[in-house]
Amino acid sequence: MDLKTYIARRLLLMVFVLFGIIVITFIVSHVIPADPIGAILGPQAPPELVEKVRREWGFDKPLPEQFVDYIWNLLHGNLGKSIRTNKPVAEDLMRFFPATIELATSAMIVAILIGIPLGIISAVKKDRWPDHISRIFALMGVSMPVFWLGLILLFVLYYQLGIFPGPGRLDPGIEAPPRITGLLTLDSLLTGNFEAFTNAVWHLILPSFVLGYYASASITRITRSALLEVMSQDFIRTARAKGLPERIVLFRHALRNALIPTTTVIGMTYGSLLEGAILTETIFAWPGLGRYSTGAYLSVDFLAVMGSTLLIAIIYSVANLIVDILYAFLDPRIRYA
Amino acid sequence: MKTSYIVGIVVILILAGLAFFMMSQPAPTTTSAPATTPKPSPTATAPATTPKPAPTTTKTKTETAPKIKTPKDILIIAMDTSDAVSMDPARAYEFTSCFVVNQLYDKLVDFELPDLVNVKPEVAEKWEVSEDGKVWTFHIRKGIKFASGNPLTADDVVYSLQRVIKLKQTASWVLTQFVSKPEQIEKVDDYTVKITLDKPVAPSFFLATLTFTTSSVVDKKVVEAHAKNGDMGSEWMTDHSAGSGPFVLEKWEREAEIVLAANPNYWKPGQPKVKKVIIKHVPEPTDQLLLIKKGDVDIVTDLTAEQINQLKGEKGVNIVKVERTHIVYMGMNVAVKPLDKEEVRDAIRYCIDYDAIINDILLGAAIKWQTVIPKGLLGANPKTPYKKDVAKAKELLAKAGYPNGFEIELTTPPTYPQTDIAAKIQADLAECGIKVKIVQMTASEMYEKYRKQGLQLVLAGWGSDYPDPDNNAKAFGDYRVKQLAWRNSWYDDYAADLAEKAALEFDKKKREQMYLELTDYILDHGPYAILYQTVAQHATRDWVHGYIPDPTFFLLDLSKVSKG
């Protein structure tokens, strides 16, 4: 099977997966005993108003009819309107997702920059102090609550020392660049607004570090164990036996093979970062997907819940697919089947 | 072995360092300190138990003007804005939306904080009401211009109010409860508007509802220019403004910031006093605390009571308090035995330790209040006869035929401080022999059940939609409006009739008397234990002047706030 057929087959499968997710999310979000209209109108709304708004949104219709309506609209590219924001869900997602992409991508870069070198050091110096330190560092990354680390960093580096800016994407008073992609760093570069660019990058550092540090732990661990496994194989002994310097053995022979499982972890981690990170987004006042979808869940905003779940499902499926395709580049022995 | 020993020490040192930073009270930064050494405040904020007239300010004495860290002509507010839905006055009904809308538009009449009893002229410079109380004539102030430059005339007023009735959005009921058809709002001449009510109501009542943001006057020409598919401009108005208020909506980046720019055509001389207002969305109270301490923002609104206490004595920061028109109560569904017996409800009221809830759980962010109309409004009744008295409660229970108590469910949302209050009530009632089972459910689920009379005891709150006693009197007293009295199955015709009668009383003094009677009656016979009235506590930098916090959620006026 060649690559194109493989991708086509996977994309087809993805449609079924997504349909399954839609059905499950729809059922779950509609059978829970909560009332979106009540949630949005508040405790003081008169009952007639609640009924009127319920009719307006079509929530008085039988469930199967609502489902058919939803699928029909979805096939026409319409994700519906959010009850909470009173805007089309697609528009909302377009507005919140770029902030998440920006944060997730820079966090991923941080995670790779921390995770892979630490994993390598850890494996090379196995059971010696650099190994212990990097493993403890990684352990702290996964076990430290992100909101705690975020607050501590803000307290020390923003409030006490004043090195980094406070929460938000830009300082108040800095003119945001016109919206092109929604990524502030990219938009400010495209429009040549360097003040906004440096400010945006500066604001990005702390949240990316918090999120990236957390994500780096699994990368460190998988790189270490994969590298150790590769290093114990025969071809490494051969390489060493023929007198190759350790540097070449490590980087040219061992690492490339060890990076295959690491790629999987990176792909999946990136997927999960793109879901939005509610805690980090809250601490750093970051208007991302995590805050949007959590807000939607809390106010039982059905269509926004469906829309963001669908987006997350697509991200995961695509991340999975990309990882699988990357495998073949990293390891020519792997064939698509 | 030796290496892991070293590693262990290193880790302990790192953690200890972090913990040290976390625990240590931050030293005041030199940048935000005033030029001369300020003296520590001699008077701390009043203890929470002694209510003071609203609003009160705790000031740190400074001898010279403080050095402003934020730009002098930009007011920066950090608050949680995630509830905002639309800045269209016909739609806005949430805290943030109404707060912003009030800066963008003028209303026919308004309250001037902190006074919530006497309505003041705004767009209407004077008004008359017919003998029968049905026909109102408003005389529009001449010379008001919209931000667009268009003059504000009767056409705009008629259009704005008719628009609310036609669009039938969430908050429209505030107006349509008196005026159900658009034709009832008519233009007499360019500067006179006539409004005919469905039935006569107390003048102070109708005027108070006109201070709500639904009655904002919009610029007819601008709005109509943006109308599509018969939406009367509603979609465009979601994030644009067309008003004559002190500010215009420059930008609203959701969950990031709302930017207001001064309206160059504003009709009140010398206002607004700043060129811009930036409302930064900061959902996390700890962040707000850091921002205000550092002096990077001018006002924060969502600090916890604990954080407010931490800020006391902080150089350069003032704490501003106001009693909100918001009451927290425990509802007792009369349809559930034995809550149908008045003695039992009275016994429950005597079981609760109100002071402990206010001081230990809310840390003073509330005042003791036991009647259904909050302090600050007409007819507010300051009686607080209930205090914890287990002996009396047991006696009442025995009289009702329940000497050994009974079992009952208390429903509460799973959020702080409700969960803590519920646990306290559970412990208090246990002392009287009443076994309370706490049921937690999300607010939306809880209200769904509450609306269908499906709860036993419930912990809930009620905020006034407009500063008139009617809103509370009917909700708590009149089961026919299907609000709280109905949800607690309390079908009391005396209370319902009195609430209705008071709404129609023209004489303000007599009206006040009726509300005092009604609140007394509900206090003794009603299905509620009123727990407290909430107090809003905001922190401002000492360079901010003229900030009067809002007891409601739609009256805050930023036009008089200045920096320097």
**A33, A85, A95 ranked by CB distance to B445: nearest:** A33
Q: Residues B428-468: pLDDT tens digits?
A: 999 999 999 999 988 878 888 898 899 999 999 998 888 89
- Is the CB of B74 less than 8 angstroms away from the CB of A173? yes
* Confidence (pLDDT) at B65: 65
Segment B351-362 shows an average pLDDT of 94
Q: Residues B276-327: pLDDT tens digits?
A: 999 999 988 999 999 999 999 999 999 999 999 999 889 999 999 999 999 9
Q: Is B127 helix (H, G, I), strand (E, B) or coil?
A: strand
Residue A335 has pLDDT above 80, yes or no: no
For B282, the closest chain A residue by CA position comes to: A285
Q: Residues B102-159: pLDDT tens digits?
A: 999 999 999 998 888 899 999 999 999 998 889 999 999 999 999 999 999 999 999 9
Residue B49 has pLDDT above 90, yes or no: no
* Confidence (pLDDT) at B355: 95
Sign of the C-alpha dihedral computed for residues A28, A32, A34 and A37 taken in this order: positive
Within 8 A of B93 by CB-CB distance, chain A residues are: 41-42
Residue A251 CB-density burial (10 A; 0-12 exposed, 13-18 middle, 19+ buried): exposed
Residue written as token pair 């009030």: B102
Residue written as token pair 């997907």: A289
Give the Cα-Cα-Cα angle B524, B209, B465 (nearest 5 degrees): 55
For B464, the closest chain A residue by CA position comes to: A44
**B11, B293, B444 ranked by CB distance to A34: nearest:** B444
Segment B197-211 shows an average pLDDT of 92
Q: What is the DSSP letter of B264?
A: T
Report the C-alpha gap between A158 and B288 in whole angstroms: 13
Residue B387 has pLDDT above 90, yes or no: yes
Structure tokens at B114: 């902190």
Q: Residues B154-191: pLDDT tens digits?
A: 999 999 999 999 988 878 888 988 999 999 999 999 99
Q: What is the DSSP letter of B298?
A: S
Which pLDDT band holds residue B12 (cuts at 50, 70, 90)? low
Structure tokens at B548: 């009067």
Residue B27 CB-density burial (10 A; 0-12 exposed, 13-18 middle, 19+ buried): exposed
Residue B3 has pLDDT above 60, yes or no: no
**B82, B287, B442 ranked by CB distance to A166: nearest:** B287
Residue B146 CB: number of other CB atoms within 10 A?
27
- Is the CB of A38 less than 8 angstroms away from the CB of B481? no
* Confidence (pLDDT) at A45: 67
Within 8 A of B86 by CB-CB distance, chain A residues are: 86
What does pLDDT average to over chain A?
Answer: 86
Structure tokens at A136: 């403890």
Percent of chain B with pLDDT over 70: 88
Report the C-alpha gap between A316 and B465 in whole angstroms: 45
- Is B147 an interface residue toward A (CB < 8 Å)? no
Q: Which among B6, B82, B174, B541 is the top mutation candidate for probing chain A, defined by the most A β-carbons within 10 Å of its own β-carbon?
A: B82
- Is B28 an interface residue toward A (CB < 8 Å)? no
The lowest-confidence range among A3-12, B73-82, B217-226, B391-400 is A3-12
* Confidence (pLDDT) at B4: 54
Q: Residues A85-138: pLDDT tens digits?
A: 778 899 889 989 999 999 999 999 999 999 999 999 999 888 889 899 988 888
- Is B29 an interface residue toward A (CB < 8 Å)? yes
Residue B338 has pLDDT above 60, yes or no: yes
Residues A142-173: b if buried by 16+ CB within 10 A, e if exposed: eebebbebbbbbbbbbbbbeeebbbbbbbbbe
For B79, the closest chain A residue by CA position comes to: A285
**B31, B444, B460 ranked by CB distance to A38: nearest:** B444
**B22, B173, B281 ranked by CB distance to A152: nearest:** B22
Q: Residues A192-242: pLDDT tens digits?
A: 888 899 999 999 999 999 999 989 988 999 999 999 998 888 888 888 888
* Confidence (pLDDT) at B8: 58
Segment B204-231 shows an average pLDDT of 92
* Confidence (pLDDT) at A50: 76
Q: Which among A29, A31, A32, A35 is the top mutation candidate for probing chain B, defined by the most B β-carbons within 10 Å of its own β-carbon?
A: A35
Q: Which of A303, A293, A295 is nearest to A67 (CA)?
A: A303
The residue type of B316 is: G
* Confidence (pLDDT) at B14: 59
Which pLDDT band holds residue B53 (cuts at 50, 70, 90)? very low
Residue B412 CB-density burial (10 A; 0-12 exposed, 13-18 middle, 19+ buried): buried
* Confidence (pLDDT) at B54: 46
- Is A283 an interface residue toward B (CB < 8 Å)? yes
Residue A336 has pLDDT above 60, yes or no: yes
Question: Which residues 11-40 of A are in CB contact (within 8 Å) with B?
Answer: 32-36, 38-40
Question: Which residues 97-156 of A are in CB contact (within 8 Å) with B?
Answer: 128-129, 132-133, 136, 140, 151-152, 154-156
* Confidence (pLDDT) at A69: 87
Q: Residues A297-326: pLDDT tens digits?
A: 877 788 888 899 999 888 888 888 888 888
Q: Residues B550-563: pLDDT tens digits?
A: 999 899 999 999 99
Within 8 A of B463 by CB-CB distance, chain A residues are: 44
Q: What is the DSSP letter of B437?
A: E
Report the C-alpha gap between B11 and B360 in whole angstroms: 37
Residue B109 CB-density burial (10 A; 0-12 exposed, 13-18 middle, 19+ buried): buried
Residue A309 CB-density burial (10 A; 0-12 exposed, 13-18 middle, 19+ buried): buried
Residue written as token pair 């997927």: A271
- Is B521 an interface residue toward A (CB < 8 Å)? no
Q: Residues A23-47: pLDDT tens digits?
A: 998 888 877 766 777 666 666 666 7
CB pairs < 8 Å spanning A and B: 143
Tell me the pTM: 0.84
- Is B185 an interface residue toward A (CB < 8 Å)? no
Report the C-alpha gap between B254 and B272 in whole angstroms: 24
Percent of chain B with pLDDT over 90: 70
Q: Which of A235, A264, A266, A265 is nearest to A252 (CA)?
A: A235
Within 8 A of A47 by CB-CB distance, chain B residues are: 451, 482
For B257, the closest chain A residue by CA position comes to: A172
Segment B29-43 shows an average pLDDT of 36
Please state the ipTM of this predicted complex.
0.83
- Is A292 an interface residue toward B (CB < 8 Å)? yes
- Is the CB of B91 less than 8 angstroms away from the CB of A50? no
Q: Which of A246, A252, A258 is nearest to A220 (CA)?
A: A258
Residue B51 has pLDDT above 80, yes or no: no
- What is the separation of C-alpha B469 from the centre of its chain, rounded to a whole number of angstroms? 14
